[in-house]
Amino acid sequence: MVRPFAAGIDGASGGVDPAGVVSERRLSDLRGLFRDAAALERAVGEGDEVVYRVVAAPVPEVEGEVPFSVTTIEAGRVGDEFYMTRGHAHPEPQGEVYFGLSGRGVLLMYDGEEVRWVEIRPGVAGYIPPGWAHRTANVGGEPFRFLAVYPGSAGHDYAIVAEGGMGARVVRSAAGYEVVEEPGGAGPAVREYYRRRKKRG
Ligand code: F6R
Ligand code: ZN
């Protein structure tokens, strides 16, 4: 178990002090997730920049603990689609809270059938209920930063989002951005994955 502590959360830099694990995802780590695969490959060839960074507090991902971390998503697009996280579901159906620190983003949620999204700005908390996959996109012109707090036993399933998508994409529009639902919907295996988790959650 972790001893009691306080951590500094720097909304201007995305820093957490003391910090635990720090991870970075580049464009090349996001292959298969953006709609415009050719635009992604061009951008990978032009420098493969970091799309987002996650700085975690030193709290382990085990039952009973409550890990927290700050994500910074840079401003940018691949084709018309805004820079975003890979996205995942929690295999143990557990909820999560996101709290906006700087910039402007969209928190996209998907339960295999329905798409919901909320805008996150500084001072706004977004709630992800158990059983909903989630992804964030930076829809502003500056880095988008948010604090995430979640149960340590939740786990992270990236394959279900890589394979089944998020049901919608966050793209540029005349108004700035729009969330466009994807036609067709998920296949039966993906729907069943989420149904099972919602029953347990
Ligand atoms: C944790 C959580 C966030 C994300 C982070 C990066 O459950 O939802 O801390 O892990 O925003 O996104 P992913 O994990 O999808 O690469
Ligand atoms: Zn999560």
* Cα gap 161→159, rounded to integer Å: 5
Please, which residues have CB less than 5 A from ligand 2, an ion?
96
Is the beta carbon of 138 within 6 A of some atom in ligand 1?
no
Is 87 close to ligand 1, i.e. is its CB under 6 Å away? Answer: yes
Confidence grade of residue 199 (pLDDT, cut at 50, 70, 90): confident
CA distances from 36 to 33, 71, 173, 200 (A): 9, 24, 16, 36
Distance from Cα 31 to the centre of ligand 2, integer Å: 20
| Closest protein CA for atom 7 of ligand 1 | 150
Q: Residue 150: CB within 6 Å of ligand 1?
A: yes
Strand ranges in 58-143 using DSSP code E only, listed in sequence order: 68-73, 77-78, 81-82, 96-102, 105-110, 115-120, 125-128, 133-138
The proportion of the chain whose per-residue pLDDT surpasses 90, expressed as a percent, equals 95
Distance between CA atoms of 154 and 168, rounded to whole angstroms?
24
- Out of 128, 156, 166, give the residue to mutate to test ligand 1, the one with the largest number of ligand atoms within 8 Å of its CB: 156
* Closest C-alpha to 109, from 88, 123, 124, 125: 88
pLDDT at 42: 98
- Decide: 161 and 133 in contact? Cβ < 8 Å: yes
**Predicted pLDDT of residue 200:** 65
Span 162-193, pLDDT tens digits = 999 999 999 999 999 999 999 888 899 999 99
94 lines ligand 1 (CB under 6 A): no
Ligand 2 centroid distance, CA of 156 (Å):
7
User: How far apart (Å, rounded) are the C-alpha atoms in residues 80 and 177?
Assistant: 9
Mean pLDDT across the chain, nearest whole number?
Answer: 97
User: With 70 as the cut, is the pLDDT of residue 150 above it?
Assistant: yes
Quick: pLDDT tens for 114-144. 999 999 999 999 999 999 999 999 999 999 9
Q: How far is CA 14 from CA 31, 124, 130, in A?
A: 25, 16, 26
Contact yes or no for 166/135 (Cβ under 8 A): yes
- Cβ of 166 below 6 Å from ligand 1: no
Do residues 130 and 93 touch, judged by C-beta distance below 8 A? yes
79 alpha carbon to ligand 1 midpoint, in Å? 23
Q: What would the pLDDT profile of 36-72 be if each residue is shown by its tens digit?
A: 999 999 999 999 999 999 999 999 999 999 999 999 9
Confidence of residue 198 (pLDDT cuts 50, 70, 90): confident
How many CA atoms lie within 13 Å of 28's alpha carbon, on the beta-carbon side?
6
d(CA 183, CA 185): 6
Q: Are 124 and 102 in contact (CB under 8 A)?
A: no
Asked if residue 83 has its Cβ within 6 Å of ligand 1, the reply is no
Q: Cα dihedral sign for 43, 81, 10, 151?
A: negative
**Tokens coding 200:** 């347990």
The two tokens of residue 68 are 């927290």
